[in-house]
Amino acid sequence: MKILIVKLSSLGDVVHTLPLVTDIQRYHEGALIHWVVEDEFSDIPTIHKGISKIIKVAFRRWRRTWFYAHTWRELWEFLRLLRSERYDLIIDAQGLVKSALVASIAKGPTGGFGFYSSREFVSSFLYQRRINVNKGIHAIDRLRTLGAKLLHYRFSSGADFGLFCSDQVSTKSIMLLHGTTWASKFLPEENWIRLSQLAENDGFQVLIPSGNDSDFERACRIASKGADLLPRLSLNALAKRIAGCAGIITVDTGLGHLAQALGVPTVALFGPTDPNLTGISGKYQLTLASSNLPCIPCLKRDCKFSNDDCKLYPPCFAITPEETWKTLQKQIDIKSQA
């Protein structure tokens, strides 16, 4: 059996799809699984043992460079690769119109979320098989349910992300994952600085990664208080650093979900987003979310309050650094005793 999975982005969404791959391998032994993914996130499927081929696409970059000849050459090569093989099933795990178009261009029968389950219901018109899955369950369970119904199996065990990273670093290091995409998800910098101090006081090396320019500037401000600023790393290299850490503290960001997939003790701080839908949880992972405001979770990119309205901004991050650090210590202890 040969299966194509279409999950283009983002990092967290790609990570959430990994247990689906593991399930297919478990219940359809010997299945060949290919994956269409945005090139900037393609490092993640490469470290899953069940992926035999990755087809990279660059829609995000092509939108900015569509007027260049090399963009059209890259697009033509992508379409050639996409149609170079026939599949027994093509699963659109994204539920967007663009991902459904990719699935429909590939050779083989298509399946995806039904009209009441898809993120963009128009995408469902492009599938030959439509599966309605409860939108109120966690994203990982939604994807696993989609695969199980399309391929006629039942899963019963917990989610297995199927990742392994070698070249692990010191187990006395803590990484603070401060970068994210929504303005409303940012934890106040003073909280990060205090978390860094608490970790160092307990003998841990504190690592601060950075991505884009704004991430780098924030990382420099946090690291100036004593933490170690990491150089800008590829996603694969950063995954290896995460895998070797004793623990991770993160906001709702793709790297935090990657830490969960790698089995690292993790505490995730959620504000505007819903932990029931995308929260980080597992044997050594826990999500902390404030419950002191009626607007939580607002699911908004920008907070309706302003810095002038609140002593703490965003106000949904009311959990103290001390409570956060104490919770991570417990998760680290649980893993050390396992």
Domain 173-336, classified CATH 3.40.50.2000, yes or no: yes
Specify which residues 177 forms β-bridges with: 250
Cβ neighbors of 133 (< 8 A, separation 6 or more) are: 113, 114, 117, 142, 145, 146, 149
Q: Where are the domains of the chain?
A: 2-151, 173-336
Distance CA 173, CA 169 (A): 8
Q: pLDDT at position 237, please?
A: 92
Residue 99 burial (10 A CB sphere; 0-12, 13-18, 19+): buried
* Predicted structure pTM score: 0.93
Neighbouring CB atoms inside 10 A of 312's CB total 14
- pLDDT at position 312, please? 57
Bridge pairing between strands 51-57 and 110-113:
unpaired
User: What was the pLDDT predicted at 132?
Assistant: 97
CATH topology match: 2-151 vs 173-336: yes
Coil, strand or helix at 303: coil
pLDDT score at 306: 66
Query: Nearest CA to 127 among 115, 112, 117, 116?
Result: 112
Q: What angle do CA 36, 283, 185 make, to 5 degrees?
A: 60
Q: CA separation (Å) from 210 to 82, 189, 194, 255?
A: 33, 14, 18, 11
Name the phi and psi angles at 35, rounded to 5. Answer: -140, 130
CA distance 191 to 195: 6
pLDDT less than 50: residues of the chain: none
Q: What are phi and psi of 219, to 5 degrees?
A: -60, -40
Can you name the CATH fold of 2-151? Rossmann fold (3.40.50)
Res 28: pLDDT: 97
The answer to whether 132 and 117 have CB atoms below 8 angstroms apart is: yes
Q: How many Å apart are CA 14 and CA 31, to the nearest integer?
A: 20
Q: How far apart are CA 176 and CA 185, in angstroms?
A: 14
Q: What is the dihedral of CA 307, 309, 315, 320, to 10 degrees?
A: 80
So what's the pLDDT on residue 309?
57
Position 307 scores a pLDDT of 64
Cα–Cα distances in Å, from 40 out to 17, 47, 64?
16, 14, 15
Helix or strand run (H / E) with residue 57: strand 51-57
- C-alpha atoms less than 13 angstroms from C-alpha of 252 in its C-beta half-sphere: 25
